Amino acid sequence: MTTYVDSSALLKRYIDEPDSAAAEQLLLSDPVLVTSWITVVEVRRNLARLVEPSEIAAVRTHFLRDLDQFALVAVDEVVCQAAAEIGEHLGVRTLDALHLACAQRLLIPGLSFITFDLRLAQAARAIGFTVLGA
């Protein structure tokens, strides 16, 4: 099985918030995890905002070590064109459209999509992904 993980789900591994335990369980349930390169930007930005300055280096190192276990989808012209279509048809936010396009790019029937963002979950279901989390 392969599971696409969006930033909201992965961030819960490093920040204790509602659904962190559920996110961790989902992340551990599949040995083949995929995300987008935009997740690097989103997670690091949020870590910088949410983690105490004295802890940020250790948390960042933990995140980057975990990221080595993921397959990463590049945000290229094909992904951007697909994201534009998704954005036009579903009215999702730009980064959400990019996540959805990256997941689509994998061409995996029945792909699981982990998110804790309700709007993104609705859009992922509309595209035909099996949504876990939200």
In the chain, where the domains are located: 3-73+110-133
pLDDT for 1? 82
Share of the chain above pLDDT 90, in %: 97
Q: Is the pLDDT of residue 88 over 90?
A: yes
Give how far Cα 21 sits from Cα of 6, 28, 52, 98, 107, Å. 16, 11, 21, 26, 29
Go through the chain and tell me how many residues it has.
134
Out of 45-49, 106-110, 119-123, pick the least confident. 106-110
Which pTM does this prediction carry?
0.94
Q: Is the pLDDT of residue 5 over 90?
A: yes
Q: Is the pLDDT of residue 134 over 90?
A: no
Span 62-66, average pLDDT: 96
3-73+110-133 under CATH 3.40.50.10440, yes or no: no
